[in-house]
Amino acid sequence: MPTVPGTVIPDPVSQVAGQGEFVITPTTGIRATGDGLPVANYLGELLRPATGLPFPVGDTGDITLVIEAGHPAGGYDLVVTTTGIRLAADDAAALFAGAQTLRQLLPPAIEGRAQADAEWVVAATVIHDYPRFAYRGAMLDVARHFFDIATVKRYIDDIAMLKINVLHLHLTDDQGWRIAIDRWPKLTEIGAATQVGGTGGGFYSHDDYRDIVAYAASRYVTVVPEIDVPGHTNAALASYPELNCDGRSPAVYEGIEVGFSSLCIGAERTYEFFDDVITELAELTPGPWIHIGGDESLTTPEADFLTFVSRAAAIVASHGKTVIGWHELGRSTRLPAGTIGEYWSFTTAQADAAAHALSFIQQGGRLVMAPADVAYLDMKYDDSSTLGLTWADGATSVPDSYQWDPAAILPGIDDDQLLGIEAALWTETLATIADLESMAFPRIACVAEIAWSARPSVPRNFADFAPRLAALGLRLDAAGIGYYRAPEVAWHH
Ligand code: IFG
């Protein structure tokens, strides 16, 4: 089935149809030099299996990838004519984003890994495109249920297709500590031995984690590791009695309650622990951000919480990283300048969330918006969903995930105060890649469009987006990526 023009997700800033089409042949090559070469090699790997064509990469070819100045930050220009394809951007990450667009201009069959019979043509077009937000995130909770490296890499490929460029890994929680810390080996010996439901568990060694970070980098995805403190820490508390104020460890936890755990704020050992953790994590993190959680510390007295947060954030800053924390961190007025707040209340702010979020702006920081009622992909779709939760204002339909705007939630918060947005996939009820993909897709495509495409002048109308989701469905089918065939979309088959 030829690609329907104008079906790219996220919607490009501008796309003008040309005359005719570019026909891919056995002699079609990909030309690139310097930093463009890794993108050219990636594109070749993407196109060879389904076409069975060689796509030589080198200094000749009708598909040209160019790194040159003159494009908006993160943006690219893609020109397809009958004689060639030219993709140009200021840097490799933007070129990679343009390659995702080119990928979507090819027939859906291109997504298959077995050779397919299709018209390998690209309709002539001129696309000028650039992202609205720099931080286009997907969070994956590997603490409630552990996911192996192959699964994480697959999820990286899933999100990269939609120009998402940040993978926030929720590495620690009550049910599991998933990153080895050499100085504190019991965190994984004990803290990683189980997971929700009591079957399974696991953790990433430093080499495993480096492997994930490198793979993400090859897709121009930055990894943001989260060590959630002082709450959501039962796995650490179960691993080391000295982290508990009474010197006694709780049992490992395999349920899905929240808010019951807290590090011992008054003990100096707690800060030695946290500094050791951040020392090792910072060394493993080429990206600028480390996330320290801060959510639902419901058993931590307020004064203790404020003491801990300012000390923990300072420790992260002392290792040269910018702190990200859930919006509760905004209760502190002593955060390192520029700390980023991740808003997870609703599209109508609940309780003090707005005040907490604004506190980051007042301290020279910005926000990442992850409103739980529209961007939490672990919410049920509807009554038919067997997986997922419903606490965030009930089920979240595919239209719900599309019909919102991050700059229309908090007073005084517009694009200038927003670093970006994030789709969160919590895994209390999700244990396999099939579970993850069926909850993430297609709603993550909605969030990806809001993260990249220009803010619409009128509120988003799902009816305008649904046909493009239907077209994406054909691509997901060909790629073998699972998705929920939401009734609100006229899927093509
Ligand atoms: N809220 C908790 C998560 C997870 C989530 C499930 C945040 C910041 C509910 N905290 O979201 O740990 O339990 O939807």
- Segments of the chain scoring below 50 in pLDDT: 1-2
Please tell me the distance between residue 14's alpha carbon and the centre of ligand 1 in angstroms: 37
Q: What is the pLDDT of residue 2?
A: 43
In short, whether 296's Cβ falls inside 6 Å of ligand 1 is yes
Integer angstrom CA distances of residue 357 from 115, 162, 309: 50, 27, 15
Domain that holds residue 51: 14-129
Q: Look at residue 4 in the predicted model and tell me its pLDDT.
A: 53
- With H, G, I as helix, E, B as strand and everything else as coil, classify residue 76: strand
Are β-strands 85-89 and 63-67 bridged in parallel, bridged antiparallel, or unpaired?
A: parallel
Q: Does the beta carbon of 376 lie inside 6 Å of ligand 1?
A: yes
Q: Answer yes or no: do 293 and 340 share one domain.
A: yes
Q: How far is the CA of 169 from the centre of ligand 1 (A)?
A: 13
- 158 shares its domain with 251: yes
Residue 296 falls in the annotated catalytic set: yes
In whole angstroms, what separates CA 94 from the centre of its chain?
A: 17
Residue 1 pLDDT = 40
Residues 186 and 261 in one domain: yes
Residue 472 within any structural domain of the chain: no
* Per-residue pLDDT reduced to its tens digit, 115-164: 999 999 999 999 999 999 999 999 999 999 999 999 999 999 999 999 99
Atom of ligand 1 nearest to the CA of 296: 10
CA of 350 to the centre of ligand 1 (A): 15
User: What's the total number of domains in the chain?
Assistant: 2
Half-sphere exposure of 68 (CA within 13 A, CB side): 10
Q: Is residue 194 part of a domain?
A: yes
Q: Report the predicted TM-score, pTM, of the whole model to 2 decimal places.
A: 0.98
The per-residue pLDDT for 5 is: 61
pLDDT of residue 6: 78
Residue nearest to atom 5 of ligand 1 (CA): 426
Residue 117's Cβ-count burial label (10 Å; 0-12, 13-18, 19+) is: exposed
Give me the CATH number covering residue 106.
Answer: 3.30.379.10
CA distances from 112 to 39, 51, 169, 329, 357 (A): 19, 9, 28, 44, 43
Q: Are residues 93 and 205 in the same domain?
A: no
pLDDT number for residue 493: 81
Domain boundary at 75, 107, 129, which?
A: 129
Q: Are strands 76-80 and 121-129 parallel, antiparallel or unpaired?
A: antiparallel
Phi, psi values for residue 387, rounded to 5°: -95, 160
258 lines ligand 1 (CB under 6 A): yes
Of the three residues 129, 144, 169, the one that is the final residue of a domain is 129
Identify the CATH number of the domain in which residue 331 sits.
Answer: 3.20.20.80
At residue 487, the pLDDT reads 97
